[in-house]
Every structure is written in structure tokens, then in C-alpha cells.
Chain A
Amino acid sequence: MAKHHVATTINGDPVEYLCDTEQTLLDVLRDNLQLTGSKEGCASGDCGACSVTIDGRLVCACLVLGVEADGCEVGTIEGIAEGDSLHPLQQHFLQDAALQCGICTPGFIVAAKSLLERNPNPTETEMRYWLAGNLCRCTGYDKIITAVTNAASELRGE
């Protein structure tokens, strides 16, 4: 079977690519499109390092086939900053020391942004449940929660 021709929108820009059935969306993003911000931690849906949105829904890119994205709107970590200015979540991850090795960070930021779009003022419990599919082996999570809390209040204009 020939490669699939897929037409998507990624971070607002139309993007076309060719892929094999076996390639996941994460493989396509990283290997075909050089969008290496999304990370592969486990390739089995457990760690959330590959978090992206598809048509506005948070998913693991490692559990989606590249060919499934045909006609869909994909959002990745590369689309979070506006030009050179970082998104408040990105700023607060830096300011509040919410990362060490950084492997988990893109996934956390994409997932947290998706939470704040639905719920601009989440409780700590809501944050922890929403982010339960994002694993971090370095920070112990508390600083991540602080960063998301602070970014949320900044986004609310407080």
C-alpha cells in the first residue's frame, strides 16, 4: 500500500504530509515534520509527554495514527507561544521552577492550557485530576501546580 496523503491544520497552519499506517501522530510530528516539542516518554498512553489537541480535545499523540489526523485541527506545544512572547503558562513554569529535565514540560503545558480553556479557575484538586495523566519524575508536582495556579490567575487578569 502506498503512503497515505494527509491534509491537516497544525497550530493554525495547513500542513500536508505522507505517512505509513503504522506511524503514530507523534512519529509524524517528530520525524516527518520536525516538530520535536512533543516528547515520547512511554509510547503507551501512560505519561502524557506527547499531549496534543485534536479538534480541541486533549489526547496522547502516541495513541493516534498519523493518518487519523486527516482533516483535523492539531494543536501542539509549538503553537502555544505567540511569536517571541511566551504564554503565561510557559512563563510561570520558568519562574516557579516547575521543570528540571523538561521532558514532561511540553505535555504539562498543553494539558494545562486545555484545562484553563474549559475552567479558568480550577481548584487544586481539579488541576491534579486533570493532569493525572501527565507524569513528572523530577519536580514532585507541587511546583507544577503552583505554576498552573499562577498562570491561571494571570490569565484571569488578577
Chain B
Amino acid sequence: MTQIQFSAPTSVDDAVRQLTDGGSAAKILAGGTDLLVQLRAGYARPTTIVDIKRIPELRQIKAENGGFRVGAAVAGAELSEHAEVKNSWPGVVEGLDLIGSTQIQGRASLGGNLCNASPAADSVPAMIAAAATCTIAGPGGQREANVEDIVTAPGQTSLGEGEFIVSFFLPARPPHSGDAYLRFIPRTEMDIAVVGAGVSLSLDDGGKCVAARLALGAVAPRPLLVEDGAKALIGTMVDDAALAKLSAAASAACNPIDDKRGTIEYRTKVAGVLARRAAEIALTRARAN
């Protein structure tokens, strides 16, 4: 006899109700690429699983206010195949696309990557750099939050009981904007980030940086928005001196762990290098449009 209840609601309200009824031992299921591994390992022991993939809003990508609304359960492969999103937010698509293999891409979602709350989650620095926000549904109705405010510690989020992410909003892109995400891993595919860096920036017609955001993954207990990184670029022509400052700000923000993937010193150094490289790619993209 099965112990775990399962439901696959087709509306946000039903999902909230079922999650709330399930209490603290209820779990959302999106692509399952984290949850099923954790179930198998006995690490997650939910009494209720609520599959959100049959709720239409969770699976849609649509244009909104010049930007895009992306359902929290849209799979990586679906986002990569969306030419307009890829064109506006190549860094975000790169971040999600780096997750796992083709098979994993068939399922892995932005919502799952964020809410699994790994410090090394690949799409999260790109989403933070993009100033993406999310719409959260819960027993008290819907609310908005910035992506950087969701993960609070490894495996922990700021979502309350019965709450889940319905969709993300990627804002409109002014002209001369670009973003990029880079991760450092010891091989070319299928590995966990030693460091991840996401940069988004916008230039004015003369090429001066008017907006910038830098976010880092895998260098602290949670993905970081590095305000000093943005400050290093805004108001400059994104020249060598500005990029050197950005690099220093990235390293200064690090508070990493020492593990088999990288020492504290190594991660701190690589964060600076990677932030600069991501900024250079974002800059090239911004100048091209």
C-alpha cells in the first residue's frame, strides 16, 4: 500500500488547497529531477506530492509588458526552443540549458532549480542578474518577489507553507542590452558548478553603461547579488579599469566552502575571472543590438 498521496491539480487554487491540506510534509513536483533523486535516497519523505505540471500557467511562455512571463514548470528544452526569449535573454537560457543532459533538459524547470535551493543552481545567478521576479501563490493569495529573495540557505527558501512559484517575469530589454552566464566546472558537461557568474547590462547610445547586475553562484550558502559589481560598471564605458573593479568586487563578495571541487582561495579567484568574462560576453551582446 502506498504511503504517499499524489495529486495533479489543473488550477493554481486547487494546488494551493492540496498543498495546504498536505501541511509541512507536502512537496511540489515539477520536473522531478531533484525531487525523485531525493525520494530515492530517502532524503525527502513527503506524505503528499502535488504535481504542478498540469496547471496551464505553469507551462506557458508568453510576451508581457515588453518582457516575458515564463511558467515555473517550463522545461529547459522548452525555453531553449523559444527564439524570442533566447534573443532577449540569452544568458538566462544559457544558465538553464547548462543543467544536466538532454534527458534532464526534458524536465528540469526554473522553479525547481530555484526552490531546490542549492547554492550552485545554474539558472539562478542568471535570473538574479536579469532582475527577474516571481509570482507566488499561497493560501493568502498571490504575491510578487525578487528571485534573489527566495533562497535563504542551502535547501531553504522564503516560501511559506502552502506557497509555490507560479511563474517568473523577465523584464523588457532596452536597446543595447545583453546578459550572459558562465560556470566553471572541471569537465564540459554534467557537473556541479565550482563557481557560476551571471551578468546583465545595458548601454546608452554612446556606449556608456546605464544599468548592470552581477550575481554569483556556488561561492556562498546562497546565490548572491553583488551590488558592488554593478557599481563598478554603471557610468563607465565598461573598459579595462571598470572590468577590473567588477572582478575585484566579485572576489570580495565570496564566502565559499572548501571542498573537493575547489578550495576557498581557488573559488574566490575564479569568481573574479568568471564575472569579468561573463561581463565581456554581455557587453559584446549589448553592443550588437
Contacts and interface: CB of A to CB of B under 8 A. Distances in A.
Partners in one complex: yes
Interface of A: 1-4, 20-22, 24, 43-46, 48, 51, 54, 57-60, 62-65, 67-68, 70, 111, 114-115, 129-134
A35 B49 CA distance: 26
Contact of B190 (A4, A67, A132): A132
A48 B101 contact: yes
A45 B103 contact: yes
Contact of A129 (B2, B53, B106, B189): B189
Contacts of B39: 22
Contacts of B184: none
A59 B4 contact: no
Interface stretch (B28-36, B161-169, B238-246, B247-255): B28-36
A59 B39 CA distance: 18
B57 interface: no
Contacts of A3: 2
A86 B138 CA distance: 52
Contacts of A134: 101
B76 to A, nearest CB: 11
Nearest to B53: A68
A69 to B, nearest CB: 11
A141 B36 CA distance: 28
Given A20-B2, A21-B4, A62 B36 contact: yes
A109 to B, nearest CB: 14
A57 B77 contact: yes
B36 A24 contact: yes
B4 A63 contact: no
Contacts, number: 96
A48 B4 CA distance: 26
B152 to A, nearest CB: 26
Contacts of B40: 43-44
A59 B29 contact: no
A70 B8 contact: yes
Contacts of A65: 6, 29, 32, 36, 49, 51
- The 8 A-B pairs at the shortest CB distance, nearest first, are namely A133-B101, A20-B2, A21-B4, A57-B106, A132-B189, A59-B106, A21-B6, A60-B103
Contacts of B101: 45, 48, 132-134
B156 interface: no
B107 interface: yes
A60 B32 CA distance: 10
A115 B77 CA distance: 13
A121 B144 CA distance: 45
Interface in B136-178: none
B93 interface: no
Given A58-B103, A130-B102, 14 more contacts: A4-B6, A21-B5, A22-B4, A24-B36, A44-B37, A45-B101, A57-B75, A63-B33, A63-B104, A63-B107, A68-B29, A132-B189, A133-B100, A133-B101
Nearest to B77: A57
A67 B104 contact: no
A58 B102 CA distance: 7
26 contacts: A1-B4, A4-B2, A20-B2, A21-B2, A21-B3, A21-B4, A21-B49, A22-B2, A22-B4, A22-B39, A43-B40, A44-B37, A44-B40, A45-B101, A51-B103, A60-B103, A60-B104, A62-B36, A63-B32, A63-B37, A65-B49, A68-B8, A68-B32, A111-B103, A132-B190, A133-B102
Interface in B1-51: 1-6, 8, 29, 31-33, 36-37, 39-40, 49, 51
Contacts of A130: 102
Contact of B102 (A43, A63, A64, A111): A111
- Scoring B2, B3, B77, B100 by chain A CB atoms within 10 A of each residue's CB, the highest score goes to B2
Contacts of B106: 54, 57-59
Contacts of B107: 59-60, 63-64
A45 B6 contact: no
